[in-house]
Structure 1
Amino acid sequence: MLEDLKARNPHIAIYPVSDARFSKYGKVLDGFDFNQCLDIMQTRPIPEEGNCYVASDAELMGTDVAGELSRRFYAGMPVQIGYCNGNSSKLNALEYHKGSEVDVAVTDLVLLLSDIRNISHNELSSESVEAFFLPANTACELYATTLHFAPCKTSSDGYKSIIVLPAGTNAGLDSIPAPKCEEDYLLWMQNKWLIAHAESIPASKGAFVGITGDNIEINY
């Protein structure tokens, strides 16, 4: 699959998450058993169009690994386990949270990543974005400094992914405070700061437009 993706995407290098380049963005997680979650995800459909994000899924939260992640990975903090299924193939935007995110690939997928330190005065060039192949049944941690967004599909069937975050992340805000610094302009949801490309749906909904360059697309 990876070699085929590379051949179809000469415009961007695609690396496996096992590559040393991934180490500045996160790491592969081997110490947690997501099999119950993977079984549940077989019943969670991929929408015909667009993406579907569920921040917290009751069945996923009822698995053994949910408590294990809270106790061990987040050192006792409450967590949420949900999913993002969909049809994305473009960069569109980048977000970050103040706390690591765990992504589990239910299907093969591609992550488009950059580093928060590449943002300067709320602008970031898409040339700083790197692509990583996350094979099905693989879990990885994305550090708080890693810019990311919805995964990209590797086939016309779409993608499925499990998303673990500190509880409350991505919930709506009653109101967005008046900005007092540059970062405040990127505040979008609870524990979510977002920078959008002009061509994206988030931009059309009022997200701060700061990604310059091409809206990278992964061909499949």
Structure 2
Amino acid sequence: MKTSQFHVPLDLVRNNPNEKIHSIESSRFKEYGRILHDFDATELVSLADRVTTIPEQDTTYETYLPALEETSLMEELKLYYGGQDIQIGYCNGKNQCINGMEYHKSPELFIAVTDCLQFLTPFSAMQDYDSVDTTKAELFYFPKGSVTIVDANVLHFAPCAVSNNGFKSIIVLPRGTNEPLEEKMKAVLKRSNDPESRLLINNNKWLIAHPEREKLIKQGVHAGLRGPNRRVIPVS
């Protein structure tokens, strides 16, 4: 991608005067991950744009999609996970708020199928596996076609839409991530005294929610986000 494509659009900046929106080419992003400048995701982006849709409300996340995994790039993507088995899924929607913060104990390869935004927060901002102040999150602009690795343990959640039409993105993670926990693991969790264990929701997925995100609270997710449920105003 050309460097100019990484610049944050001025209309997005004007729509969000109270938010500092960083380019992923800024030095701030190095605290959370890196851009894979030499990875050509054109094939995957085009395919995902054709075979996935944006829901009318909220977000849709699929851990893997066979059509995406049949790509010739599958083996190349495994390189970033040391050759271990991976899954290629997607997250599409019209989200505009933080709503929650999750983390994985593995990196996440993120490909922007459309322009989108993400709130990223350092793991060090979490207090005793209990709470995180939403003001600690930094907001980044991911232009269409950008390929990034978000480091393990970085707090993040669903992207936010730049356009009122919504966003599309590809998510690459180790195979099994975000899948339901096995019954044996659920039993281990029930008797665990580790304070982090209450945040484990699915395989390789630890999650806390903002109190306003009632859907997650009803699912038993710990309401640990403190402060405003920061919101992004998309451009028309």
| Structure 1 position 42, deviation (Å) | 2.1
Point out where structure 2 has 5 or more consecutive residues left out of the alignment: 1-7
Q: Which residue of 2 aligns with 1:209?
A: 223
Is the 1:116–1:146 Cα contact (8 Å) retained in structure 2? yes
Residue type matched to 1:198 in 2?
P
Q: Give the superposition deviation at 1:168.
A: 0.4
The answer on 1:181 being equivalent to 2:194 is yes
Could you tell me whether the CA contact under 8 Å between 1:32 and 1:65 is conserved in 2?
A: no
Q: CA RMSD in A?
A: 1.1
Partner of 2:180: 172
Counterpart of 2:221 in structure 1: which amino acid?
A
Q: Quote the Cα distance in structure 1 between the aligned partners of 2:136 and 2:147.
A: 24
Could you tell me how far apart the structure 2 residues matched to 1:20 and 1:204 are?
Answer: 38
The 5 A counterparts of 1:1-220 are 2-43=9-50, 44-70=52-78, 72-121=79-128, 122-175=130-183, 176=186, 177-178=189-190, 179-200=192-213, 201-220=215-234
In the alignment of these two chains, the number of paired residues is 219
Is the Cα–Cα contact under 8 Å of residues 49 and 168 in structure 2 kept in the other structure? Answer: no
Offset at residue 113 of structure 1 (A):
0.6
Listed one character per residue, the Cα deviations across residues 146-194 of structure 1 (whole Å, up to 9, x for unaligned) are 1110000011100000000011000011343123211111111000000
Q: Is the helix fraction higher in 1 or 2? A: 2
1:55 Cα offset (Å): 0.8
* TM-score normalised by L of structure 2: 0.90
What secondary structure, in the 3-state scheme, does the structure 1 residue paired with 2:160 have? coil
Q: TM-score, normalising length from structure 1? A: 0.96
Which consecutive segments of 4 or more residues in structure 1 shift more than 3 A? none
